[in-house]
Structure 1
Amino acid sequence: MVEHLLAGARGALVTHEWPHPRPRYVALLVHGYGEHAGRYAELAGVLTGHGAAVYAPDHMGHGRSAGERVVIEDFEDVVTDVHTAAGLAMDAHPGLPLVVMGHSMGGLVAARYAQRHRDALAALVLSGPVIGAWELPGRLLALPEIPDTPISPGALSRDRAVGAAYAADPLVWRGPMKRPTLEAFVRTLRAVAEDGDVGPLPLLWLHGEDDRLVPLPGSRIGVERLSGGALTERIRAGARHEVFHETDRAQVFAELTGFLDGVLLSR
C-alpha cells in the first residue's frame, strides 16, 4: 500500500493506493464514520486480485487526514475530496472504468458523488449506506448534549476478531458524535433525497439483515429512490453492519466481483 498526500478541501488529504501493474478498472473506496481507509486492506486485496487499481482517501477529520476528529461541517467538501482522489487515480490510469464503493457514511458520500459525477462512473456499490430514513442524527440533535456513547464493536460483525481490532485501532474514533457533523448528515440526507436518481448507472446494494447501526428498512427507502432501475440487491442473512468484515465475507466478495464482472463485460 502506498500513501499519497493531496490538497483537500480543508487541509491535507491522505489517500491510500493498492496498486496493480496492469489494471482493468479503478476502484475508489469511501470509508465510514469514525474509521479510516486502512481498515479496508482485505477488500482492497480482493479487488486488486480481481484486476483493480484501488484508491481510498481518509476523510477530513478521519484517519491520517487533517481536521478536528470526526468533524465534517459540509459533506459536499468530502465529495470534493473523493473527486480529488479520483483525479489522482484516473491521471494514473486514463480511460479505465471507475467504480465507487461507499460504506455506511461513505455510502452517503458515494451516493452524492454519483449524483454529481454520474457520467464518470461505470458502477456504484453501497454497503450498509446511510441513506434514506436514518433517524439517529435527529434524535441526537434534539438532546441538549450529545451523549458519549461509542459504537459497540459487536455491532460491526459476528467475527469477534473484527470487533477486537476495531477497539484496539488508534485511528478509530471512540468519542461522542459532534453536532456540526450530525447537522451535516441531516442536510446531506435531504440533498440526496431531493437530487433525483442516478439513471442507468449499475448499482449494487449490500446490507446486513441484522444491521442495528444503519437499519435495513431506512436504507431501502433511499437506495430505491437513488436507483434509476439498474439495481442489484444482496441482503445478507444474519449479518451486522460491516458486510465486508463479516463471517461470510468470502460470499460477499464473490457477489461483489460477480457484479463487477457483469459491469465490465457490458462496456
Structure 2
Amino acid sequence: MAESREHTFTGVRGLNTVREWPHDRPRYVVVLVHGYGEHIGRYEYVADRLVRHGAAVFGLDHMGHGRSAGDRVLIEDFEDVVTDVHTVEERARAEHPGVPVVVIGHSMGGMIAARYAQRYGAGLAALVLSGPVIGDWAVVPALLAFEEPPDIPIDPATLSRDLSVGEAYAADPLVWHGPFKRATLEAFATTLAEIAKGGTFGALPTLWVHGEEDELVPLPGSRGGIEAVRGSDLTERIYRGARHEVFNETNKDEVLDDVIAFIDRALSA
C-alpha cells in the first residue's frame, strides 16, 4: 500500500485530522470525502490505486469522526464540513500548484461532495459520487419521527458481498456503532434540501457510481437527487448485485478502473 502521513488543522469547529498519500510529481490531486460514522483510514485501498495512477491523495476525518475532535457523529451544519474540505483542498493546491483537483465522495461524503461542487465546483477538474446520500433518503424522515432516534445499528452485511469488509467495519474502534444524533439528522435534511435548490454542476465532469443492491442508500432515492443537480457531463455506472460500498465490493477493481478511466477522460478534456 502507498505510504501515508497525517497532520492536523483547526477546522470550523475544532481540530481535524487529515491523511495524505503523497506523490512527488502528481498528475492530479484527489480529495477523498468519507461517509457517515466512518473515517478516512478505511480508504487505504482506494488511495493506493489512485497514487499508482499518478495522484496525490488527501482526505480528512470529518468533525466528530475518526481521529478528529468533536462529539461523535455530531454535525450540526454540513456547510461547516464543506468549508473544512475546502481547507484541505487549499493545502493540497499549496503543495501542488497548478495541478488539477478531483473530489471523490462516498455516501454522506457524496452528499458533502455534491454540495462542495455547488460551492466550489468552478475550481475542480472532476467529481465522483459513490452511493451518494442525495435526493430522497428515507432514513432521515423515518428517524426524525422519533423524539429520540432509536439505536438501529448498520448491518455490516449490507456494506459489501465481501463479508470480511463488514467484519472489519464492526471491529473498527474508529467507526461509530451507536445511534444517529437528532441534530445530525436535522442537518442532513437541511443539506439535502439545500442541494436540491442549489443548482446544477454545469459542465463539471461527474461520475456517479452506485450498487444496484444498495440497501443503506437505495438507488431510486439517489437517482432523483442526481437528476436535480446533474450538469451537461454526467457518466453513470450501476453495478449489478453490488451493495453500498462499491469501493470495497467484490468487483472493487472494476469500479476503480472505471473511476480511473473517467478521471483520464476528464483530465484530457
Is 1:184 the equivalent of 2:181?
no
Q: 1:15 aligns with which of 8, 14, 18?
A: 18
| 2:61 is the counterpart of 1:58 | yes
Candidates 121, 141, 145, aligned match of 2:144:
141
Q: Deviations over 1:134-167 (max 9, x none)?
A: 1111110111321111111101000011011101
Structure 1 residue 88 displacement after superposition: 1.0
The CA deviation string for residues 176-195 of structure 1, in whole angstroms up to 9 with x for no partner, is 00000000000000000001
1:112 to 106, 110, 115: 115
Q: Which residue of 2 aligns with 1:197?
A: 200
Is 1:156 the counterpart of 2:156? The answer is no
Question: Pick from 6, 9, 25: which aligns with 2:9?
Answer: 6
Write the deviation string for residues 224-262 of structure 1: whole angstroms up to 9, x where unpaired: 211112000000000000000000011001101010110
Give the paired residue count.
266
Counterpart-to-counterpart distance in 1, 2:267 and 2:199? 25
The Cα of 1:115 is off from its aligned counterpart by: 0.2
Letter in 1 for 2:86: H
1:72 paired residue among 72, 75, 90: 75
Name the counterpart of 1:86: 89
How far the C-alpha of 1:122 sits from its partner, in A, is: 0.4
SS of 2:105's equivalent in the other structure is: strand
Of 232, 237, 256 in structure 1, the residue corresponding to residue 235 of structure 2 is 232
CA distance in 1, matches of 2:114, 2:30: 15
Q: Distance in 1 between matches of 2:29 and 2:268?
A: 15
- Aligned partners of 1:227, 1:119: CA distance in 2, in Å? 15
Q: Report the TM-score, using the length of structure 1 for normalisation.
A: 0.99
Runs of 4+ in 1 over 4 A off after TM superposition: none
Q: Residue type matched to 1:247 in 2?
A: T
C-alpha distance in 2, partners of 1:145/1:178? Answer: 8
Which residue identity is paired with 1:13? N
Alpha-carbon shift at residue 212 of structure 1 (Å): 0.4
Deviations 1:109-153 (A, max 9, x none): 000000000111001100000001111111101113211111111
Partner of residue 130 from structure 1, selected from 117, 128, 133 = 133
d(CA) in 2 for partners of 1:39 and 1:29? 11
Q: Which amino acid aligns with 1:82?
A: V
What's the CA shift for 1:39? Answer: 0.1
When structure 1 is superposed on structure 2, of 223-232 and 194-203 the one drifting more is 223-232
Structure-2 separation of matches of 1:3 and 1:225: 36
SS across alignment from 1:67: coil
**For 2:116 and 2:10, how far apart are their aligned partners in 1?**
18
How far the C-alpha of 1:35 sits from its partner, in A, is 0.1
Runs of 5+ consecutive residues of structure 2 not aligned to the other structure: none
* Partner of residue 213 from structure 2, selected from 203, 210, 213: 210
Q: Does 1:243 align with 2:246?
A: yes
Amino acid at match of 1:209: E
Distance in 2 (alpha carbons) for counterparts of 1:147 and 1:133: 20
TM-score normalised to the size of structure 2? 0.98
**CA deviation after TM superposition for structure 1 residue 7, in Å:** 1.1
Percentage of identical aligned residues: 62
